[in-house]
Chain A
Amino acid sequence: MSYRILAFDGGPHIATGLRVLIQIETAKPGFLERTDHFVGGSSGGITALYIARRLTDGDAALDILRDAIPMTEKLYDCFAPVDGDALADSFANLLVGASAMIGNRDLRQMLVEELGGGHLSDLSRRVSIVSTAKAEPYLPALWSNFGPQHLQRHDVTLVEAGMHTSAFPFWVPVRGGQLDGCMWTNAGGTAGLSAAIAAAPDAKGRSVLLETAVMLQIGGNDGLSDLSNRYLPGQPSPPEPDRALVELGFPPTPPTIDDNTSEADLNGAEQYALHVYGEVFASTMDRVASFGPDDDSGRVSRAAERVAGVVKKVEGRVKTLLKPMERKANQEALERKRKTDGAEPHNESWGWSEWLGYSGNPAFILQQWLTSLGRGSELSSRNFLGDRVLRVGPVTFLGTNVALLCVAFGHCDAIYWFADLSAQLWANPTTSKRFSFTPGWDETQTWAAANWMNEG
Chain B
Amino acid sequence: MKPVLDAPYRILSFDGGPSVATTVRCLQQIEAARPGFLERTQHFVGSSAGAQVAVYLGHLLDNGKDGATALSNCVDFVDELLTVYAPPAGALLKLLEGKDAMMTNVGVGTWLQEQIGEQTTLGDLYRRVSVLSARADKPWNPEVVSNFSGILGSPVRPTEAVNAAIQSGSFPLWLPLRDGHVDGALYSNCPAMAGFGAAYQAELSPAAKASMLHNAVVFSLGGMDGSSSLSNLFTPPLTGNEAKPLALPAHGTWPTAKLADVDDARSSAQQIRANLMHELNSQLGMDIDPAVFPVTGNSSWGWQSWLAYPWNLGYFLQVWMNSMGRGVSMLLDQMLGNRAFRLGPVTLLGSNEAFLCELLGQPKPIIAFADFTAKLWGEPDPPTGVTFEPTFEETLAWVDTHWMPHFTP
- B→A interface (CB under 8 Å): 90, 93-101, 104-105, 134, 136, 138-142, 144, 151-154, 163, 166, 172-173, 176-180, 182, 186-188, 193-194, 196-198, 200-201, 206, 209-210, 213-214, 224-227, 231-232, 235, 238, 284-288, 292-293, 296, 298-308, 316, 319-320, 322-324, 326-327, 330-335
Contacts and interface: CB of A to CB of B under 8 A. Distances in A.
Nearest to B160: A345
Contacts of A185: 324, 327
B302 A372 contact: no
Nearest to A374: B142
19 contacts: A103-B300, A137-B225, A137-B232, A170-B306, A174-B301, A177-B299, A183-B319, A185-B327, A194-B332, A207-B206, A222-B139, A318-B96, A332-B100, A350-B177, A373-B188, A375-B141, A382-B153, A383-B194, A386-B201
Interface stretch (A10-18, A94-102, A251-259): A94-102
A221 B139 CA distance: 9
B152 A329 contact: no
Given A185-B327, A207-B209, A350-B177, 9 more contacts: A96-B304, A137-B322, A139-B323, A170-B302, A314-B96, A379-B197, A380-B193, A383-B194, A386-B201
Contacts of A103: 300
Interface in A358-402: 365, 368-369, 371-373, 375-376, 379-380, 382-384, 386
A97 B308 contact: yes
A138 B225 CA distance: 9
A313 B302 CA distance: 24
Contact of B326 (A139, A224, A314, A356): A139
A314 B90 CA distance: 12
A352 B197 contact: no
Contact of B319 (A170, A179, A353): A179
Interface of A: 93-94, 96-101, 103, 132, 134, 136-140, 142, 151, 169-170, 173-175, 177, 179, 183-185, 190-191, 194-195, 197-198, 203, 206-207, 210-211, 221-224, 229, 232, 306, 310, 313-314, 316-318, 321-322, 325, 329, 332, 336, 344-357, 365, 368-369, 371-373, 375-376, 379-380, 382-384, 386, 438
B323 A184 contact: yes
A291 to B, nearest CB: 15
A97 B302 contact: yes
B311 to A, nearest CB: 14
Contacts of A198: 333-335
Contacts of B213: 206-207, 210
Nearest to A203: B214
Contacts of B224: 137
Given A169-B301, A173-B300, A372 B226 contact: no
B286 A313 contact: yes
A179 B98 CA distance: 31
A310 B93 contact: no
Contact of B138 (A191, A223, A322): A223
A203 B216 CA distance: 13
A115 B322 CA distance: 32
Contacts of B152: 382-383, 386
B319 A368 contact: no
B142 A375 contact: yes
A96 B138 contact: no
Contacts of A174: 238, 299-301
A329 to B, nearest CB: 6
Most buried by A among B179, B187, B225, B306: B187
Contacts of A344: 179
B360 to A, nearest CB: 15
B85 to A, nearest CB: 15
Nearest to A381: B197
A383 B198 contact: yes
A151 B304 CA distance: 33
A373 B190 CA distance: 12
A382 B172 contact: no
Contacts of B139: 221-224, 229, 438
Contact of B194 (A325, A354, A357, A379): A379
B182 to A, nearest CB: 7
B293 A317 contact: no
Given A223-B140, A317-B93, A372-B134, A310 B153 contact: no
Contacts of A93: 302
Nearest to A99: B300
Contacts of A100: 300-302
A103 B301 CA distance: 10
B99 A351 contact: yes
A353 B104 CA distance: 17
B191 to A, nearest CB: 10
A183 B323 contact: yes
Contacts of B193: 190, 380
B99 A329 contact: yes
B238 A371 contact: no
Contact of A317 (B98, B104, B285, B306): B285
Given A93-B302, A195-B334, A313-B285, A352 B98 contact: yes
B286 A314 contact: yes
Contact of A329 (B100, B176, B296): B100
Nearest to A314: B284
B197 A325 contact: no
Contact of B331 (A96, A169, A191): A191
